[in-house]
Amino acid sequence: MKKLLTLSALACATIAPAAMAADEVNVYSYRQPFLVEPMFNEFTKETGIKVNVKFAKKGLAEKLAQEGEYSPADVVLTVDISRLSDLTEKGLVQPVNSDILEKNIPAQYQDTDNEWFALTTRTRSVYSSRERVGKLGQDFTYADLVKPEFKGKICTRSGKHPYNVSLVSAMIAENGEAATKEWLEGVKANLARKPQGNDRAQVKAIKEGLCDVALGNSYYLGKMVNDPEQLAWAESVYINFPNQETTGTHVNISGMAMAKYAPNQENAQKLMEFLAGDVAQNMYAEVNYEYPVKPGVKPSELVASWGEFKADPISLDKIADHHEAAIKLLDEVKFDL
């Protein structure tokens, strides 16, 4: 018998079949324990429903598929539209019809068939060196990254990382494959080094003078500001929101879905509605420096200090439709090589 997972043992245990009681709900999560534990504790306090969590860095979709109808999972928490659309394409989740979710989550941030819902948003921003570049103008666009002035000055993580794939997918949706391929070739030609590391590593590279601008998700700036070892990296850059005078800055999400064979559907829906409500949305904003998805819930004071921006209104469903094409283009231009 596998050991029942409690919130004090998130990272190392597996939900047992005994966890499928009426006063419990089982979560499979890519989101880190420090982020979800406070929300689940609050949910339990309000409802009396215990939350059992299986935390993983990868492989949850495969686990759901392997378990099939015997899976104890009720709710799946993940990041990036590609991972959410992968769950729907593989038939691992089910629709949730909820007036609360419909009201609290803007239409562009939920699946048209109600199979996934966003919880937070984050921008795919461009960081620029305070010392060598300064703040980029309001008219700056992603397209500007191919300009001669950025030759040998751009850093980024792998083009095939989901965050970059989603950006490329959005560009295909808006500009077509031919124009996007030309853009990828131009960006590659302007790279200071081979794509590598994570988003924070790119900001570190700016601090060290290896490059002047870098693609990166917005919430990493908050994480660096609050890490004594990385504060100097954060202080070396400005965060910029491209395409403010055109389509708006590309936005990705973290989100949730109800597992196809959820044994505790009623409790699962209650948890999902709680996570889309004011209490949890405010906690997301303060803990992880993301933008709350619920209209009217303000970002944290730190995030708000970065300034307001216009988000690209394109449907995330439409972005997900172009993921395979995006990966194909990245291969064609040999972006990571």
Q: Are residues 132 and 116 in the same domain?
A: no
pLDDT tens profile 304-329: 999 999 999 998 989 999 999 999 99
Do 122 and 290 meet the contact criterion of CB atoms below 8 Å apart?
Answer: yes
Question: Given this model, what pLDDT does residue 32 score?
Answer: 81
- Name the domain count of the chain: 2
Q: Check pLDDT > 50 for residue 179.
A: yes
Indicate whether 2 pLDDT > 50: no
Q: Do 275 and 39 form a contact (C-beta atoms < 8 A)? A: yes
Mean pLDDT, the chain, integer: 92
Residue 1 counted as domain residue: no
Measured distance CA(110)–CA(258) in Å, rounded: 13
Same domain, 191 and 326: yes
Q: Residue 294's closest CA among 282, 312, 308, 309?
A: 282
C-beta atoms surrounding 229 within 10 Å? 7
Residue holding tokens 């409790």? 267
Identify the band that residue 299 occupies on the pLDDT scale cut at 50, 70 and 90.
very high
Amino acid 33: pLDDT: 82
The stretch 200-222 carries a mean pLDDT of 97
Helix axes 323-332, 177-189, angle to 10 degrees: 40
Phi, psi of 7 (to 5 degrees): -65, -15
Q: C-alpha 42: how far from its chain's center?
A: 23
According to DSSP, the residues that pair with 238 across neighbouring strands are: 128
Residues present in the chain in total: 337
| Domain enclosing residue 62, as ranges | 24-121+251-305
Same domain, 153 and 108: no
Res 19: pLDDT: 40
Residue 80 and residue 218 in one domain:
no
Asked whether residue 219 is marked as a ligand-binding residue, the answer is: yes
Whether 220 has a binding-site annotation, put simply, is yes
pLDDT band per the 50, 70, 90 thresholds, residue 333: very high
Residue 56: per-residue pLDDT: 87
Sign (positive/negative) of CA torsion 304, 108, 321, 271? positive
Spatial separation of the C-alpha atoms in residues 274 and 46, rounded to whole Å: 10
Same domain, 282 and 327: no
Tell me how far apart the alpha carbons of residues 222 and 130 are, in angstroms, rounded to a whole number: 17
For position 36, what pLDDT does the model report?
A: 87
The answer on 51 and 103 residing in a single domain is yes
Of 77, 116, 78, 118, which Cα lies nearest the Cα of 94?
A: 116
pLDDT band at 4 (very low <50, low <70, confident <90, very high): very low
Computed on alpha carbons and rounded to an integer, the radius of gyration of the chain in Å comes to 20
The pLDDT value recorded for residue 35 is 81
Condensed to tens digits (0 to 9), the pLDDT of residues 79-99 reads: 888 889 889 999 999 999 999
Q: Are residues 186 and 132 in the same domain?
A: yes
Confirm whether 18 is domain-assigned: no
Residues 148-167 pLDDT 10s: 999 999 999 999 999 999 99
Let me know whether 103 and 141 are in one domain.
Answer: no
- Sequence-ordered list of residues with C-beta below 8 angstroms from that of 59, at least 6 positions apart, any chain: none
Q: Could you tell me where the beta strands, DSSP code E, fall in 169-288?
A: 213-217, 237-240, 251-259
Same domain? For 117 and 255 the reply is yes
Residue 104 sits in a domain whose CATH number is 3.40.190.10
Tell me: do 65 and 147 sit in the same domain.
no
pLDDT, tens only, 249-278: 999 999 999 999 999 999 999 999 999 999
Q: What is the pLDDT of residues 55-84, one digit of tens each?
A: 888 888 999 999 999 999 999 999 888 889
Residue 11 has pLDDT above 60, yes or no: no
In a domain, 322, yes or no: yes
Residue 24: pLDDT band with limits 50, 70, 90 = very high
Kindly state the tokens that stand for 277.
């409500």
Give the span between the Cα atoms of 261 and 105, in whole angstroms: 24
Mean pLDDT value across residues 210-237: 97
Spatial CB neighbours of 306, under 8 Å, sequence gap ≥ 6: 218, 221, 239
Percentage of the chain exceeding pLDDT 70: 93
In this predicted structure, the answer to whether residue 204 has a pLDDT above a threshold of 50 is: yes
pLDDT of 41 > 80? The answer is yes
Task: Give yes or no: residues 114 and 158 share one domain.
Answer: no
For residues 121-140, average pLDDT: 97
116 and 56 both lie in a single domain: yes
Task: Give the model's confidence band at 22: pLDDT under 50 very low, under 70 low, under 90 confident, else very high.
Answer: low
| Domain assignment present for 16 | no
CA separation for the pair 199, 21 (Å, rounded): 41
* Residue 307: count of CB within 10 angstroms of its CB: 11
